[in-house]
């Protein structure tokens, strides 16, 4: 299963949308506390810059849809003269659980439906902000730490929390995708031994870049840009269904998909009857 670096996805606001939303709603989130709002805005900009500048932690993401048969998605994700492709259906809970079991103690995979409703997004971040500021009001004045320093630390922790929550927020214009996503943070390291040897041959291979779980960071070209990604193994029984696109309404296409599934997914794709066809009545 391919996980792509979030910075290289088609939505250019990935990772930054939450900060822009927070800045716009800063006064409300800070409950009109002037000193908190000033710190909040300053740290919003600082953390946003740090996320761009310091790539020690990189987020990698695999995207799905909760809609199994959607003409807009067939059009967008299957390219060419005719819309031909396959929709793989997964058991989301089993998939998520199996990933965290396999990489337990090394990687943690977050998963969930993307929220597009801005009102709901604001309700979530307001609730979190209230909890953090309530903590500050209850404990800051009884500590030896300066109140201002405690406020700065509180807001910094709040924004760090909102950044992770914001990985599941997107603008309403993407709502048609009905996305479900799985995300993990990758601590990227460089194999210095391989790197020094590569200078001797002038060949830098993808295997030089690895993270601590040995999920190799590889690259594929797209629109002239080398896009980082990693291949993540999943439990085969998590695959539950295969659906053919609207233009593949024939028996030989179903047979080919069934035969291809039998090497790894015979436990859940047991017969050709488990291969369905899109119900969208279109012709190209």
Most trustworthy range by pLDDT among 66-80, 120-134, 209-223: 120-134
Going from the C-alpha of 54 to that of each of 157, 270, 276, the distances in angstroms are 18, 47, 46
Condensed to tens digits (0 to 9), the pLDDT of residues 169-181 reads 999 999 999 999 9
- DSSP string across 147-185: HHHHHHHHHHHHHHHHHHHGGGB--GGGGGG-EEEEEEE
Residue 206 has what pLDDT? Answer: 43
Burial class of residue 20 in the structure, from the number of CB atoms within 10 Å of its CB (0-12 exposed, 13-18 middle, 19+ buried): middle
Cβ atoms of 209 and 137 closer than 8 Å:
no
For strands 275-277 and 239-244, give the pairing: parallel
Average pLDDT over residues 265-281: 92
For strands 109-113 and 179-190, give the pairing: antiparallel
The model's pTM is 0.81
Question: Which structure tokens are listed for 199?
Answer: 């200078």
Condensed to tens digits (0 to 9), the pLDDT of residues 67-106 reads 999 988 988 888 665 678 899 999 999 999 999 998 887 7
- Among the residue ranges 49-53, 107-111, 260-264, the one predicted with the least confidence is 49-53
Beta bridge mates, 5: 60
* Residue 74: how many other CB atoms lie within 10 Å: 20
Phi and psi dihedrals of 97, rounded to 5? -65, -40
d(CA 2, CA 191): 22
């Amino acid at each position: 299963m391919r996980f792509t670096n979030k910075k290289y996805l088609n939505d250019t606001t990935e990772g930054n949308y939450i900060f822009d939303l927070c800045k716009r709603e800063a006064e409300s989130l800070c409950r009109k506390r002037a000193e908190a709002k000033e710190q909040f805005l300053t740290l919003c900009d600082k953390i946003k810059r740090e996320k761009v500048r310091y790539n020690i932690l990189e987020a990698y993401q695999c995207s799905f849809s909760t809609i199994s048969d959607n003409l807009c998605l067939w059009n967008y994700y299957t390219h060419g003269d005719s819309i031909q492709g396959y929709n793989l259906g997964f058991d989301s809970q089993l998939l998520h659980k199996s990933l965290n079991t396999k990489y337990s103690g090394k990687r943690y995979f977050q998963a969930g439906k993307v929220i597009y409703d801005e009102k709901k997004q604001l309700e979530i971040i307001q609730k979190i902000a209230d909890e953090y500021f309530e903590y500050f009001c209850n404990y800051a004045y009884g500590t030896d730490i300066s109140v201002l320093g405690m406020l700065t630390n509180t807001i910094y922790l709040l924004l760090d929390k909102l950044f992770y929550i914001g990985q599941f927020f997107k603008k309403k214009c993407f709502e048609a995708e009905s996305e479900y996503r799985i995300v993990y943070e990758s601590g990227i390291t460089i194999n210095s031994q391989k790197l020094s040897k590569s200078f001797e041959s002038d060949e830098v291979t993808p295997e030089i870049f690895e993270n601590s779980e040995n999920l190799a960071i590889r690259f594929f070209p797209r629109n002239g840009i080398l896009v980082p990604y990693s291949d993540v193994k999943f439990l085969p029984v998590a695959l539950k269904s295969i659906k053919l696109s609207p233009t593949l309404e024939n028996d030989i296409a179903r047979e080919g998909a069934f035969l291809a599934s039998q090497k790894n997914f015979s436990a859940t794709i047991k017969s050709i009857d488990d291969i369905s066809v899109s119900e969208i009545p279109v012709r190209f």
